[in-house]
Chains A and B, each alone.
Chain A
Amino acid sequence: MTVEARIEVARGDFRLAVETELSDGEVVALLGPNGSGKTTFLKVLAGLIPLDGGMITVDDKCLDDPQKKQFLLPSQRPVALVFQDYLLFPHMSVLDNVAFGLRARGVAKADARDRANEWLGRFDIAEKSGARPAELSGGQAQKVALARALVTAPRLLMLDEPLSALDAASRVSVRRDLLRHLSEFGGATLLVTHDPVDALTLATRVVVLESGAVAQTGTVEEITRRPRSRYVADLAGLNLYRGSAAANSIALTDTQGEIVIADKAEGEVFALIHPDAVSLYVTKPAGSQRNLWPGRIDGIEALGDRVRVHVGGVLPLVAEVTAAAVAELGLHEGKDVWAGVKATEVSVYPA
């Protein structure tokens, strides 16, 4: 295992307690709402925040262990951190920015510049080597920041929301380049993101952090198939409810409602409903549908050729329908509707 970390940090009221392992070549996405401790997590690994408890090792070398009173300074760790806004040194050329880590390690100037130039070439921005960071586009600045981090051959590369500072147009191409560079990088990568697309395209594994603790971990496919928190469900655009099941019915924890399910279940469970499976009606339908809730539309958003309709009521949910259906039913904000879900469309798993 390249990186092993058991992290305990307390800052004021906030507590971070996370255990994780990363191996070579693995790209782990750290997902979580604001204030969940993602950035603190990165800073602890980088050595910018010391541990209060636990330990961190990289290649079996101890970086931080408060019990053994061991602590390596950030400058002595085989760890690189790329900040969200890149933070290229504004008073240095692109080349000197990339050469910085080598110069700091005592590499001679000419040699450091040669190697920095080689990295700039690898990132297809050799022609910018003499430019100041202020002259770069967002995508170029990101490449320079990445090259600056990789030139020191870190064992663990950490990226704090690497694409959030870019506009939507350049994000796609930068993400593609990032994917290529990450696959060439031999060490472990940890990237913080808000964007499920980043997690899906870049990461091999996802760790979901909520209020300082790991809420869920697995591949993107695994965690979206069985989300265990509101945050993950919202990211994936799914309807998630929690309640206690008794036979074929779930009494919901947060609302008055009840969900009828096909297979018997007992105890605390999650109920997941895909927006695809929700049918909307303008008048109460007659028929065999077991789950039927009245509600009022409080938002409509287009998503390609699909339309997501947010329905408020006893059971707030999102329905995904075709644009044709919206026109046909005359759906608009404030309209009263009925939402129906077949019992067989509700997937249930233990909480």
Chain B
Amino acid sequence: MSKRRAGQRPSWALLVMAGIAAVFFALPLLGLIGRASWSTLGRDLTSAESLSAFRLSLICSVAAAGFSIVLGFPLAWVLARVRFRARPLIRGLVLLPLVLPPVVGGVALLTAFSRRGLAGSLLYEWAGIQLTYSTAGAVLAETFVALPFFVITVEAGLRAVDSRYEEVAATLGASRWHCFRHVTLPLVAPSVVAGGVLAWARALGEFGATITFAGNVEGRTQTLPLAVYLFLDSRPDAAIALSLVLLLAALAVIVLLRERWMGEA
């Protein structure tokens, strides 16, 4: 039982196709590393524009991940534990930003939250807040695309937790809050961490919805991906340097979550 089966001997055609696919993934990464101008890397990364993009990306992505957790957890809980008729509909709505082209997401956000949008107009009239072309708008756009990653991860995590643990806790005298704090949350914590990291990574890389909804304003909405796009024509070395940083962040996410996906089954 413990010995691995010798396995099937794959056909040559299959191996070649698999090899092509692997190279297809590896080549762009190698290109990025090969084309990087290492001597000017320090200067490219510490230019005023780059630093402002760093700062903004960090703030926006962490805020978006935070909103995803705060808004996403109750939603994931309801989807996992409460049976109601609109549940399939709500779940579909949550999944939509995953498959929707981000530009379309940006346009949709405009119709809802711009100064003349459904909710945005009220916000502007009552509070004088304008979300478009603001950092808050960039956070909003990033949250829109990041939230589904958190919700589906945590919903699956909650479903995997035997709800009878909560029943036991209740019969032992635990209030709902005590039970949530000491039983449900610790059991689902790995999913919350994974969902949070995924949401953060998605927010960090968000481009389409951000540029559509919040524009490309340096220091306010110009996050790393937007800066990369802008630099590509004028300062390709800087674009590649910033791309390397994003690549590093992606690698960090994979290392962080490796137990979850890359464990040897």
Contacts and interface: CB of A to CB of B under 8 A. Distances in A.
A81 B174 contact: no
A83 B164 contact: yes
Given A89-B183, A100-B182, A80 B164 contact: no
Main secondary structure of the interface of A (DSSP, over half): mixed
A46 B171 contact: yes
Interface string B132-168: 0000000000000000000000000000001011011
A73 interface: yes
Interface string A73-111: 111110111010001011100000000110111000000
Contacts of A83: 164, 168
Given A48-B170, A81-B168, A87-B165, A75 B183 contact: no
B186 interface: yes
Contact of B173 (A43, A90, A152): A152
A87 B179 CA distance: 14
Q: Which of B164, B168, B174, B183 has the most CB of A within 10 A?
A: B168
A242 interface: no
A101 B172 contact: yes
A228 interface: no
Given A83-B164, A89-B165, A90-B187, A104 B175 contact: yes
Contacts of B164: 83, 87
A83 B164 CA distance: 9
Contact of B169 (A43, A100, A149): A100
Given A91-B186, A100-B182, A104-B178, A148 B162 contact: no
A331 B186 CA distance: 61
B187 A75 contact: no
Nearest to A158: B171
The SS class assigned to the B binding surface is helix
A52 B168 CA distance: 22
Interface in A27-60: 43, 46-48
How extensive is the interface on chain A, given as a class? 20 to 34
B173 A87 contact: no
Contact of A48 (B165, B167, B175, B183): B167
Contacts of B175: 75, 104
A48 B174 contact: no
A81 B187 contact: no
Interface string B101-112: 000000000000
A104 B174 contact: yes
Contacts of B162: 87
A90 B179 CA distance: 14
B187 A91 contact: yes
A147 to B, nearest CB: 12
A3 to B, nearest CB: 15
B187 A74 contact: no
Contact of B172 (A43, A47, A90, A152): A152
B191 to A, nearest CB: 13
Contacts of A47: 170-171
A149 B171 CA distance: 9
Contacts of A77: 171
A149 B168 CA distance: 9
A166 B186 CA distance: 28
Contacts of A103: 178, 182
Contacts of A43: 167
Contacts of B172: 75, 80, 100-101, 104, 148-149, 152
Contacts of B178: 103-104
B196 to A, nearest CB: 19
A74 B182 contact: no
B169 A104 contact: yes
B170 A74 contact: yes
Given A87-B164, A104-B169, A75 B174 contact: yes
A194 to B, nearest CB: 20
A83 B183 CA distance: 16
A74 B167 contact: yes
A211 B182 CA distance: 38
A296 B172 CA distance: 54
A283 B171 CA distance: 62
Nearest to A151: B172
A74 B186 contact: no
Interface in A181-229: none
A151 to B, nearest CB: 9
Contacts of A75: 170-175
A160 to B, nearest CB: 10
Given A87-B164, A87-B165, A91-B187, A79 B182 contact: no
Contacts of A152: 172-173
B173 A81 contact: no
Interface in B231-247: none
B182 A80 contact: no
B171 A81 contact: yes
Contacts of A73: 170
A193 B173 CA distance: 25
B166 to A, nearest CB: 10
A77 B173 CA distance: 8
Nearest to B164: A87
A317 B33 CA distance: 82
14 contacts: A46-B167, A73-B170, A74-B167, A76-B173, A87-B164, A87-B168, A89-B168, A89-B169, A91-B186, A100-B169, A101-B173, A104-B175, A104-B182, A152-B172
Instruction: Kindly list the 3 A-B residue pairs having the minimum CB-CB distance in the complex, ordered from nearest.
Output: A74-B170, A101-B172, A104-B174
